[in-house]
Amino acid sequence: MVKLRFSVNVLLIGGKTMSLSTLSNLPFIDYVINLIDILLVWFVLYKLLVIIRGTKAIQLLKGIFVIVIVRSLSSLIGFNTLGWLMQQVMNWGVLAVIIIFQPELRRALEQLGRGQLFTRTTVGQEEDEQDRLVESIVKATSYMAKRRIGALISIEKETDLSDYIETGIPIESHISSELLINIFIPNTPLHDGAVILRNNQIAAAACYLPLSESPFISKELGTRHRAAMGVSEATDCLTIIVSEETGSISLTKNSELYRDLDLETFKSMLSKELILDNKQASSTLWNWRGKKNG
């Protein structure tokens, strides 16, 4: 049980004084303190899970759970050698976790320093920003498709794309259709490579994306399509491709390629992935107001 050790006196109703240490001996006070303690721990764990959700760190976290389970089963069954090996892994695990989760820890500390770890934008603001994002992308894509201007645009979702953003030229600008079009105009410094969108902003341009090595991709597809497939195999981002040869619009997500989309279908898919998913994600314990979905 949690015990308070303060010597400060508290003035109670009726003119009597009682120390906080005396109050802590009351069962009700102990229960309240323990309850607050548990809620704070769960709150911190929840925020940590939100930070690493959708990143590669979540897969590594599953691996840690597997090691703990194997260690426990080894002790129960009597596999001494395997148990000793797992114990050594756990002994050095703290240092390994710091090294492996370094990007996520840095990101959490940056958010804490900016005061953004415990803040959240309103649902209405998020929806308006997502609406503007979809409209800007659709307008720019339509313009480039009609004029056969090749383009490659990746939209970050849950999986962090910092590794790919660092390969390009930082932009950090609000999204507009005019800016997107201007970036991909041929023979300009930023047109070669991918534009990556993060948090409703253009994070960087001229970024390098990993090429897919899948043998099932059609031979008639070029480097842009292979890069879009490659990044969709490694992350959960959406990637838009405008073909320079045909002016067709394609989209990749979760290792799937959707080719030759008409403008209405393309806009519908973007809205479903960015706006509707955003509305569903906002229905958490932080959303204290009821709202209709879709």
pLDDT of residue 238: 93
Q: What band does 167 get if pLDDT is binned at 50, 70 and 90?
A: very high
Q: Average pLDDT of 284-289?
A: 38
Q: What band does 112 get if pLDDT is binned at 50, 70 and 90?
A: low
The CA distance from 197 to 205, in Å, is: 9
One DSSP character per residue, 14-74 reads TS-EEEHHHHTTSHHHHHHHHHHHHHHHHHHHHHHHHHHTTSHHHHHHHHHHHHHHHHHHH
Q: What band does 2 get if pLDDT is binned at 50, 70 and 90?
A: very low
Q: Which domains does the chain have, with CATH numbers?
A: 27-113 (no CATH), 123-281 (3.40.1700.10)
Give the chain's mean pLDDT. 77
The CA distance from 58 to 52, in Å, is: 6
Diameter over CA atoms, the chain: 88
The CA distance from 36 to 56, in Å, is: 32
Query: Which ranges of the chain does DSSP label H, i.e. alpha helix?
Result: 20-23, 27-52, 56-77, 80-91, 93-100, 102-113, 123-146, 162-165, 177-183, 223-234, 263-270, 277-281
pLDDT of residue 52: 62
Contacts of 278 (CB under 8 A, 6+ apart): 126, 127, 130
The CA distance from 87 to 114, in Å, is: 38
Residue with token string 């879009």: 228
Rounded to two decimals, the pTM is 0.59
Q: Which residue has the higher pLDDT, 262 or 126?
A: 262
The sign one gets for the Cα dihedral 16, 18, 24, 27 is negative
Neighbour count for residue 175 (Cβ, 10 Å) = 20
Q: Which residue has the higher pLDDT, 135 or 279?
A: 135
Q: What is the pLDDT of residues 217-272, one digit of tens each?
A: 888 888 999 999 999 988 889 999 999 999 999 999 988 999 999 999 999 999 88
Residue with token string 């953003």: 165
pLDDT of 78 higher than 60: yes
How do strand 256-261 and strand 249-253 relate by DSSP bridges?
Answer: antiparallel
pLDDT of residue 10: 43
pLDDT of residue 157: 87
> What tokens does 273 get?
């992935």
Q: What band does 124 get if pLDDT is binned at 50, 70 and 90?
A: low
